[in-house]
Structure formats: C-alpha cells, structure tokens
Amino acid sequence: MKEIKSTNVSMHILTIDNLGAGRSPQPRELYTTREMAKSVCACLDKLDIVNAIVLGHSMGSAIAQHIALCCPKRVRRLFLVSSFAKLDTVAARFLQARYELMAAHVEKALVAKASMPSLFGNRFLENEDNVALGIQRVIENPQTPDGMKGQLNACITHNTLKSISDIQCDTTIIVGTRDVLIHPEHSTVLHERIPGSELISLEDYGHMLPLECPEKLCRHLVSSDTRIPELTYID
C-alpha cells in the first residue's frame, strides 16, 4: 500500500494483483469476478480500510462492481473505467483468441502487435514510442496461460445487469469514445442502471485509458470528491 501526501491531502493507494495475474496465484481452476471481489473485500477487512474509493479498469471494473455490492459499507465512491455489465460477442471472441495465442506460446511481441488496434485509439498508436511501450508491457507481464484462462472465464461469465441497480455509492463511469473492445454503449447501460451515476466520455481515446491519457483521466478523478484517505485500484 502506497501513501501519497501533499499539503492538502494524505491518501493511501492500494493496488492489487488479482487472482491469475502478477504475484498472486495463477491456478488452473476457473474463477469469477465475484470471487475476486470477495478477495479484495477480505483485503479491505484485513487492513481495516473503510470509506474506500474503489477504481477499476476493464476487468477490474467488473470486479469493482461486485465489491460495491458485496461490501457496500466499505465503499465510499466507485470509479468504473472502460467498463461493462456483460461482455458482448466481439469482446469475448477477442479475449478468447488472445488466450489461444498465448497458450500456443506465440511470441508475446506478436500477440501485443495483433491486439493493440483493439485496445488503443489512433492518438496512442500514431506515436511509435507509445507502441513500443505497449509491446514492452505485454512482454514483461508475468501472467501464465493458466492465469489468462482463469481471467478469461471471469470476464466472459460476468453479468451484473440485474444487480447493478443495487449499487448505492456515488459512481462515476469513464469511457473512451473510440473503445473498440468494450463499446461505449456498455458504459451507457451502466449509467442508466446505477442510480445517480455520472458518465464521462473522453473523446478519441480507446480502451486503455490509463495508458492513453493518464493525466486527463487523473484530472477527472481528482475533480471528484476524493478527499478520502483510501483508494483501491483494480486493473
């Protein structure tokens, strides 16, 4: 857990390696976003974190939805970035194909190059340094095919269409208008079903907003009421 201090605010930022990624276990068993959310809730309990601001991107945003539903008393505010309540066929087939390439031990750089047009917008891809950064992140990712398969199942089986209306905390939904992987209409569905939610559209950006426009994304986060000393980020 990192601590950020300034003259006006002291904030603890907790970043979590979900099941199937990073230094967390990557078992062969399949798992769900709800199960991963319960692990995060257990982490919040262990650290006695209350009034947390939960920020989730992509699959992390699906997990974040369940966190807000499973332990609502610990969530002060919710940010859903490039989010969805249920994957459509386009996204599911993209993720399945990416997994099959990794399982076949195709060179990671080639997997990255094949995936980038579905993940990033024109602004990002027009810059060769950005492309190199995106490729390097994939090469350095320690995720195994087993971990990817588990997370693939979590994404494909995620469905909160009937339950997201029960989310009661302040919620901000942020989406790139050029998101090819998770079409912006998914964010509209979330906005329509989560009571009192706010929808922010970032023009000409794709799915990977934390990489494509980190400063612009952060400005929207900071402009909200984030004076609470705990922030949980799930990617």
* CATH number of the structural domain spanning residue 12: 3.40.50.1820
Task: Decide: helix, strand or coil at residue 155.
Answer: helix
Q: CA 158 to CA 197: how far, in whole Å?
A: 20
For 23, the token pair is 């230094």
- The number of beta carbons lying within 10 Å of the beta carbon of residue 220 is 17
Mean pLDDT lowest among 48-52, 219-223, 229-233: 229-233
Total tally of structural domains belonging to the chain: 1
* Residue 21 confidence (pLDDT): 79
* Residue 26 confidence (pLDDT): 80
Tell me, what DSSP letter sits at residue 120?
S
* Residue 11 confidence (pLDDT): 64
Model pLDDT for residues 185-199, shown as the tens digit of each residue: 999 999 999 999 999
Full residue range of the structural domain in which residue 53 is found: 2-234
Count of helix runs (H) and strand runs (E) in the chain: 10, 7
